[in-house]
Every structure is written in structure tokens, then in C-alpha cells.
């Protein structure tokens, strides 16, 4: 009797299990990992529409910026499948691809002709590794670059304009060159009035200081090195690079007090709290500056692209990220379906409407996009003049070495710009030798 | 018959039971000692030995590559790196300023509290509050206090002509600013231990000194200080070890190289650069330094106890 009862019970369980297995797969769930900022919220809004369309639940999981890289790579290193996709920084491409953490998307990329669909800079920096190899590891998702916000009311004040012209001999207007930017910053730098010239990036926790310095470095005609040969000596410590670093230090002297650890939050605060005439920041943080709920000076805040250097060259530091499929995810097929949806023209347009910086060349070039906000035109122009940091697997070591050398000179006032950059060239050369790059 | 009585008595005694809990020794071993030892082995001893092994390899957790044995190369590179020595020098300066300040302020407060006055209990509790707060909260809180434009620190210092100090951005001040915060937070801990020591000093010694018309300084140096020294040394050991490992405050409060303590550099090496093998070697160097300093203190502590 007991035996029969157990047989029935096991039989029932087996039947139920087989029944469940034969049912069509239940709606899946996908998790995208990104940093905690407004674009991640916009992405969540966008993917909710994917859920409505397909029944697949997509969650955008976030973590604060300083913790983003550590948390993502801790999960990769553990071969964890907590995230199906990650919107990783452009510098991660080397570590993500060579470490086996990212799925190779070359086939997908070529099948959908994304090299032409997406803006050229976003393909080069967010997707391809090594550069020029035709191997793609991400789909450009959020385009971004560094731009500038400024106080229009300060610039357009007749008394200020007259005083500026008296002092510098030309009209006070949006700076077209770094020399003009320096003059304007100096002109408005009045600590006795709690008013300061300029707000720049200085934080050394991650890539803020590097991205800030890159803006002057690239426009001055300098570069970080030769990404194909890994040559750095004579490039990162060239005369142009030295002049660019000297300028960056000069600008640091015109920042508000306590500005040695500043990143995007402080950059926006400089405008919202009447601290500085101009503020460097990623375009992705500018929506808060045109919103009068978050910026009491929204009506008098203007925007401009990174200015030219002394030789007329004009570049800007690249921000933004591509979306990659994590190779440890058990939902890779479903993730590919999501990406197919994401690259659709109508979805890219919707992404831009929600506040995301689309990388779709067609949407970016449209009048609708370029006139949608006061800063979209500057963003559009900037996306053609961007350059990025090293994307090699050892990029984190290179970044920390740069932070140390540059911060010693800019914030701590130790040595000269040449000594700082010569030291950096030696550090980087030693690092590349350690990883057999030569 | 006699043997039978002894056996019966033994049976009554075993298993022995704790009078308070009624638990047998066996139950105590199974419920408390074995889990504790297992926990220690799994979470302390095993990772310690495992990381020691990694310290002799070129392992990087961010790459899907096996660890290669490289002998003492990580240790050699670290000890030859001038930046690492700078980190050690900064940390040593921080430990001396911070722990020195805590000892002076903590012991001073204990001396003040070691007498009867109204609301003594309330005052003592209020003084202990800082050490009950989280390090992160304290760091953020003091960042506001140090703000050069509207922070209260500069406001208070303004009458002295020091109202424009840029505490956390000035490379000459930043480390001291972090150390002052640590002193504010942990001086109460020294105060608590000192107070325990002071209240244990037998009153008849003070009475005898008073009869002999001993002065305050003589009483302090010959009675108070020698009797409190063992507890002060214990406080010194704990605070030195903690100060040597400080990470949170420096990480939150300042990004300058002048505040890059060894823990901060170790964190960068391990979790930003993912140099797993090298960071394990670095952690062992730090461990050896901390153990060496602690042993020196313990030697003095034992000497103080013998006196």
C-alpha cells in the first residue's frame, strides 16, 4: 500500500515535470548593467517598450559611477551570469574582448551594416577592437563627449562686455580657442565675489582627470601615443602636450575653491550655484542644466563645443558607451534579439526623444535631433572631432599612472609639465613592455 | 563495590554541564567551537594561504589566463617602486598624527571626566557618539565642515586670520584634514579605555600622596600614568593597526596624491588595475609591517605590566 502511494507520487511529479518542460518557454528576463545616471533611466523607459512589444522583461541595473568598473569586472572575473548585457566604457573593449568576457558581435555588426548605420567615431571607439581589425564587440548605444556650459547672462552683461574688451582687446563671446577660454576664465575669476572663472574635471578616482586633460591635449595637437605601435615617448611628452598640460594647470588655478576632486556633479553645480562662468562636462549631464527644476539658471545657461588649440585643431574627449553581450550569460540568443530591436531606426529615434544620445548617423544628422535641445547642435558637431583614451586590456594601469603624474603637477604643484609627462611616458613604456606590446 | 560507586559517580559527572546554560561540553563544542573554527578556516586562514600563493604569480583576475609562478618578482617590483615608498611615507605620517592626536585628546578627555559632576553619564555618552557613526558618513559630513566657502571650520578659524584655508584641496593640508577627522572620530575610544584605567587606580594611593604633600605633576607621573599605561598601550595597538589600514576616510574626503594611503593604493591595484598577484604581495608586505609594529608595542606592553 505504502509502496503504491510512493509510486503514484513519483509518477505524478514526473508527469508534472515533463508537462512543464513541454510547455512553450515562459517570457524571459534580461538584465542590462550600466552606471547610475540619467541615461540609464531613459534606457529603462525605452526597454519598457520592448517589454510591451515582446513580453520579455528587461531590467536596467545600475551602480554608482566610481563603483561601475569594479563591479562589472568582479562579475566578469567570477564568470557570473547576473548580467546579460553591459553598457561598458569604451576603454573596456580590450579587457572585455581579450579576457573572453564579451561575445564577438562581428557577424551581427556586418549583417546589419552597422559600420555605416552608426556614426563613424562611435563605431571606432565603442565597438571595434583592436582598432582597424574589423572585429566588433559592442553596439554603440550612448554617444557622448565633453562639451562646455556657460553663463549667458554673465557673458552678455554690457558692463562686463565693455570691461572685457578694455582688458583683452576683443569682444567677450563664446570662446573659439583655448586662449580665449583662458582669458574669459581669468576675467571672471573673482574670489572676493565668490565668483570663479572655470570648472574643470580633476577627480582621480576613475577617468575624470584624464578626460579633462584630453580636451586641451588633443586640441593642442598632442596625443596620448600611437595606438598601433604603442609608442608613447615623444608623443605624450611632446611640446604640444606639455603646452596643453600647462594650460590645464593654469585653468585649475581659476576654479572654485576645493576643486581638487571634481567630476560631473561638481561640473553642473558650478553652473547651478553661480560658482563659475564656464563648466566642462559630458553632454549627457546637460539635460539637468536646461531643466529649471534642477538649475535655477536654466534660462541663462548656454553651451559650446570644445574650443580649438593654438594650431587651429579642434578635438574633444570621448565619453559614451557601447552595449555588449556578456559571454557568461545564458540568454545570449534573447540578447541578440533585443539588440536587433534596439538598432531599428524607429527605436533609435525614440531613444533620442527620451533623452538618450543615439549613435545612429541618420538620427544624429536630422534637423529634428539637432534642434531638439540647446546643446544638441554642439553635441552633433563634437561627435565628429572626438578622440579616446587607450582601450588596451591594461588601460586601468595606464589611467592610474596618468592620474598620479598629472595630479602631482596640476593639483599638488610638484615639478614641471615636462617632468610630469616625461615621467608618464616612462611609466607607460614600462607598462607596455611588461605586457609585451613591443 | 567501590569500583561500581566510582563508575556511577563518573557517569553522574559526564557529560559535564555548564551550570548557567545547562549545555554539555560536547554541545558547546558542536554548537559554538566547531562552527567558529570552520568559519575561521574558510574565511580567514584559507584565503590567507591562497593569497600567499597568488603573491608569487602573475595572476590577473580580469583575464581568462592561468597564474604563472614568477617567484619573488612581485615583491621585488613593489619594494623597488618609489610610489609605493611614498605611499608608506604618507601612511606613516598619517598614523603618527592621527594616533598621536587621538591619544592626547582621548586621555585628556578621560582625565577631565574622571571626577564627579552633574550629567557625567550624559556627557560621556555624547562624547562617545562619533565612534558609533559610519566612516563614510563621517567623511562626507567633514567634507562639508571643511568647505572653504561656507564650512564651519573656516568660519571658526576666521577670527585667527585662517578663514580661507582650502583644507581638502591644498596638498599641504589635506592629509592633516583627514587625520583631524580620524582624531574626532576615534579619540573617544582612547578616552573610554583611559577612563577604565583611571577609575581602577586605587584611591588610597592618591590619599597617601596627598598626605606626603605630593604635587599634581608628581602624582600624575608616579601614580596615574604608570597604572594607566597598560590600557593606554592597548588603545595604542588597536588605533595604530586601524590607522594603518585606513581607507574609507581618505577615499571619500580627498583625491589628492598626498592622501593616498597604502590601503587606497592597494585597492586600486587589486580592483581597478586587477593586478591580483601583485596586490596579494602588496597586502602581505602591509601585513608584515603591521605585525612588526604590533609586536614592538606588545613587547612594551608586557614590560609595562611587569613594572
What are the per-10-residue average pLDDT scores of chain A (438 residues)? 45 45 59 94 96 96 90 92 95 92 96 94 93 94 95 97 97 97 98 95 92 97 95 98 98 95 94 97 93 96 96 94 96 96 96 93 93 91 91 92 96 96 97 92
Instruction: Please report the pLDDT score of residue B19 as a whole number.
Output: 52
Q: What average pLDDT does the segment B153-171 reach?
A: 91
Same domain? For B43 and B94 the reply is no
User: Phi and psi (nearest 5°) for A177?
Assistant: -130, 160
Mean pLDDT of chain A: 92
Residues B297 and B268 in one domain: yes
- CA A404 to chain B, closest CA, distance in angstroms equals 7
For residues B243 and B190, membership in a common domain is answered with yes
CATH no. for residue B129?
Answer: 1.10.3720.10
Q: How far is CA A26 from CA A53, A54, A57, A82, in A?
A: 15, 12, 11, 19
User: A121: how many CB neighbours lie within 10 A of its CB?
Assistant: 21
Question: Is A73 touching B (CB cutoff 8 A)?
Answer: yes
Task: Please indicate, yes or no, if residue B121 is contained in any of the structural domains.
Answer: yes
Strand partners, A57: A29
Q: How confident is the model at residue B161 (pLDDT cuts 50, 70, 90)?
A: confident
Residue B63 covered by a domain: no
Show Cβ contacts of residue B175 under 8 Å, excluding neighbours closer than 6 positions: B90, B93, B94, B97, B258, B259
Count of domains for chain B: 2
> How many residues belong to chain B?
307
Q: Please report the DSSP string for A184-199 in residue order.
A: HHHHH-BGGGTBEEEE
Determine contact: B272 vs chain A, CB below 8 A. Answer: yes
The torsion angles phi and psi of A124, rounded to 5 degrees, stand at -65, -45
Do residue B238 and residue B171 come from a single domain? Answer: yes
CB contact under 8 A, B272 and A70: yes
Judge if B127 and B265 occupy the same domain: yes
Position B147 in a domain: yes
Q: Are residues B50 and B84 in the same domain?
A: no
Strands A316-317 and A386-387: parallel
Tell me whether residue B60 is in a domain: no
Cβ of B274 within 8 Å of Cβ of A396? The answer is yes
Whether B127 and B31 share a structural domain? no
* Contact with chain A for residue B258, Cβ under 8 A: yes
pLDDT of residue B18: 52
Q: Which three cell numbers, joined as nine digits, stand for A218?
A: 588633443
Please give the residue of chain A at the shortest CA–CA distance from B270: A70
Task: Say which range, A351-355, B193-197, B300-304, has the weakest mean pLDDT.
Answer: B300-304
Q: By C-alpha distance, which of A95, A93, A145, A85 is closest to A119?
A: A145
Q: In which band, very low, low, confident or very high, does the pLDDT at B23 lie, cut at 50, 70 and 90?
A: confident
A74–B contact, CB cutoff 8 A = yes
Residues B88 and B20 in one domain: no
- The tens digit of pLDDT for each residue in B81-108 reads 999 999 999 999 999 999 999 999 999 9
Q: Do A257 and B149 touch (CB under 8 A)?
A: yes
Q: Is the CB of A269 inside 8 Å of chain B's CB atoms?
A: no
Same domain? B78 vs B42: no
Nearest C-alpha of chain A: how many angstroms from B166? Answer: 6
Find the residue in B nearest to A435 (Cα). Answer: B58
Does any CB of chain B come closer than 8 Å to the CB of residue A70?
yes
Residues B251 and B173 both lie in one domain: yes
pLDDT value of position B38: 96
CB contact under 8 A, A204 and B255: yes
B167: nearest CA partner in chain A: A258
A263 touches chain B (CB under 8 A): no
Task: Provide φ and ψ at A365, rounded to 5°.
Answer: -80, -10
The share of chain B scoring above pLDDT 70, in percent, equals 93
Nearest to A272 by CA among A302, A306, A301: A301
Contacts of B174 (CB under 8 A, 6+ apart): A260, B167, B168, B253, B254, B256, B258, B259
Residues of A in contact with B256 (CB under 8 A): 204, 260-261, 407, 411-412
Taking the C-alpha atoms of residue A222 and residue A242, their distance in angstroms, rounded to an integer, is 8
- Evaluate whether residue B174 is within a structural domain: yes
Q: Looking at the domain assignment, is residue B65 inside a domain?
A: no
- Same domain? B113 vs B193: yes
Q: Answer whether residue B66 is part of any domain.
A: no
Task: Report d(CA A188, CA A152) in Å as an integer.
Answer: 13
A vs B, Cβ pairs < 8 A, gives 82
pLDDT for position B17:
52
Closest partner residue to A397 among B148, B168, B273, by Cβ?
B273
B302 Cβ under 8 Å from any chain A Cβ: no
Domain shared by B138 and B243, yes or no: yes
For residue A31, what are the β-bridge partners? A59
Is B62 contained in some domain? no
Q: Is B77 on the interface with A (CB under 8 A)?
A: no
Domain holding B198, by residue range, is 74-306
Amino acid at each position: 500500500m505504502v509502496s503504491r502511494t510512493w509510486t503514484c507520487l513519483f509518477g505524478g511529479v514526473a508527469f508534472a515535470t515533463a508537462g512543464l518542460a513541454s510547455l512553450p518557454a515562459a517570457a524571459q528576463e534580461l538584465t542590462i548593467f550600466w552606471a547610475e545616471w540619467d541615461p540609464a533611466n531613459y534606457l529603462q523607459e525605452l526597454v519598457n517598450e520592448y517589454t510591451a512589444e515582446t513580453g520579455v522583461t528587461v531590467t536596467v541595473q545600475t551602480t554608482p559611477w566610481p563603483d561601475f568598473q569594479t563591479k562589472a569586472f568582479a562579475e566578469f572575473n567570477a564568470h557570473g551570469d547576473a548580467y546579460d548585457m553591459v553598457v561598458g566604457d569604451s576603454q573596456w573593449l580590450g579587457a572585455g574582448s581579450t579576457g573572453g568576457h564579451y561575445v564577438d558581435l562581428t557577424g551581427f555588426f556586418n549583417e546589419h551594416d552597422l559600420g555605416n548605420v552608426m556614426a563613424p567615431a562611435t563605431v571606432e571607439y565603442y565597438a571595434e577592437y583592436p582598432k582597424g581589425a574589423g572585429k566588433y564587440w559592442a553596439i554603440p548605444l550612448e554617444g557622448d563627449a565633453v562639451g562646455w556650459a556657460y553663463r549667458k547672462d554673465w557673458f552678455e552683461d554690457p558692463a562686463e562686455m565693455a570691461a572685457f574688451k578694455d582688458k583683452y582687446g576683443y569682444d567677450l563671446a563664446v570662446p573659439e580657442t583655448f586662449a580665449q577660454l583662458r582669458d574669459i576664465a581669468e576675467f571672471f575669476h573673482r574670489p572676493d565675489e565668490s565668483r570663479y572663472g572655470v570648472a574643470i574635471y580633476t577627480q582621480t578616482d576613475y577617468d575624470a582627470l584624464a578626460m579633462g586633460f584630453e580636451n586641451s591635449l588633443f586640441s593642442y595637437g598632442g596625443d596620448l601615443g600611437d595606438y598601433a605601435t604603442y609608442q608613447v615617448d615623444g608623443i605624450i611628452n611632446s611640446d604640444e602636450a606639455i603646452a596643453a598640460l600647462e594650460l590645464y594647470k593654469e585653468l585649475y588655478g581659476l576654479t572654485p575653491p576645493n576643486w581638487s576632486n571634481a567630476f560631473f556633479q561638481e561640473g553642473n553645480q558650478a553652473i547651478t550655484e553661480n560658482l563659475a562662468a564656464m563648466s566642462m562636462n559630458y553632454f549627457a549631464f546637460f539635460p539637468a542644466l536646461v531643466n529649471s527644476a534642477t538649475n535655477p539658471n536654466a534660462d541663462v545657461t548656454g553651451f559650446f563645443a570644445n574650443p580649438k588649440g593654438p594650431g587651429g585643431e579642434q578635438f574633444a574627449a570621448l565619453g559614451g558607451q557601447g552595449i555588449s553581450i556578456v559571454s557568461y550569460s545564458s540568454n545570449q540568443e534573447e540578447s541578440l534579439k533585443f539588440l536587433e530591436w534596439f538598432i531599428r531606426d524607429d527605436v533609435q529615434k525614440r531613444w533620442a526623444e527620451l533623452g538618450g544620445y543615439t549613435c545612429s548617423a541618420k538620427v544624429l544628422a536630422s534637423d529634428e535631433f539637432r534642434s531638439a535641445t540647446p546643446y544638441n547642435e554642439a553635441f552633433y558637431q563634437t561627435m565628429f572631432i572626438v578622440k579616446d583614451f587607450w582601450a588596451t586590456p591594461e588601460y586601468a594601469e595606464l589611467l592610474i599612472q596618468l592620474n598620479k603624474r598629472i595630479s602631482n603637477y596640476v593639483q599638488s604643484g610638484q615639478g614641471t609639465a615636462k617632468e610630469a609627462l616625461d615621467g608618464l611616458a616612462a611609466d607607460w613604456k614600462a607598462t607596455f613592455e611588461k605586457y609585451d606590446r613591443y | 563495590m567501590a569500583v561500581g560507586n566510582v563508575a556511577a559517580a563518573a557517569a553522574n559527572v559526564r557529560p559535564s554541564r555548564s551550570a548557567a546554560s545547562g549545555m554539555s561540553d560536547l554541545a558547546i563544542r558542536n554548537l559554538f567551537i566547531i562552527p567558529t573554527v570552520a568559519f575561521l578556516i574558510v574565511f580567514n586562514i584559507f584565503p590567507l594561504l591562497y593569497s600567499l600563493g597568488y603573491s608569487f604569480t602573475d595572476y590577473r583576475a580580469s583575464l581568462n589566463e592561468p597564474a604563472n609562478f614568477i617567484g619573488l618578482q612581485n615583491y621585488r617590483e613593489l619594494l623597488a617602486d618609489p610610489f609605493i615608498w611614498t605611499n608608506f611615507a604618507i601612511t606613516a605620517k598619517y598614523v603618527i598624527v592621527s594616533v598621536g592626536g587621538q591619544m592626547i585628546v582621548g586621555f585628556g578627555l578621560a582625565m577631565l571626566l574622571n571626577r564627579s559632576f552633574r550629567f557625567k553619564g550624559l556627557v560621556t555618552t555624547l562624547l562617545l557618539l562619533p565612534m558609533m557613526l559610519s566612516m563614510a558618513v563621517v567623511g562626507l559630513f567633514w567634507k562639508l565642515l571643511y568647505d572653504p566657502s561656507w564650512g564651519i571650520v573656516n568660519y571658526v578659524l576666521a577670527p585667527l586670520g585662517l578663514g580661507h584655508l582650502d583644507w581638502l584641496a591644498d596638498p599641504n593640508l589635506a592629509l592633516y584634514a583627514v587625520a583631524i577627522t580620524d582624531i574626532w572620530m576615534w579619540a573617544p575610544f582612547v578616552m573610554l579605555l583611559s577612563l577604565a584605567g583611571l577609575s581602577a587606580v586605587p584611591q588610597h594611593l592618591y590619599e597617601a600622596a596627598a598626605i606626603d604633600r605630593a604635587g599634581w605633576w608628581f602624582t600624575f607621573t608616579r601614580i596615574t600614568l604608570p597604572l594607566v599605561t597598560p590600557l593606554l598601550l592597548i588603545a595604542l595597538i588597536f588605533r595604530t593597526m586601524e590607522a594603518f589600514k585606513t581607507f574609507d576616510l581618505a577615499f571619500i574626503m580627498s583625491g589628492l596624491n598626498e592622501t593616498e594611503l597604502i590601503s587606497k593604493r592597494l585597492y586600486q591595484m587589486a580592483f581597478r588595475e586587477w593586478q591580483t598577484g601583485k596586490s596579494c604581495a602588496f597586502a602581505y608586505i602591509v601585513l608584515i609591517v603591521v605585525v612588526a609594529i604590533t609586536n614592538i608595542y606588545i613587547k612594551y606592553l608586557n614590560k609595562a605590566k611587569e613594572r
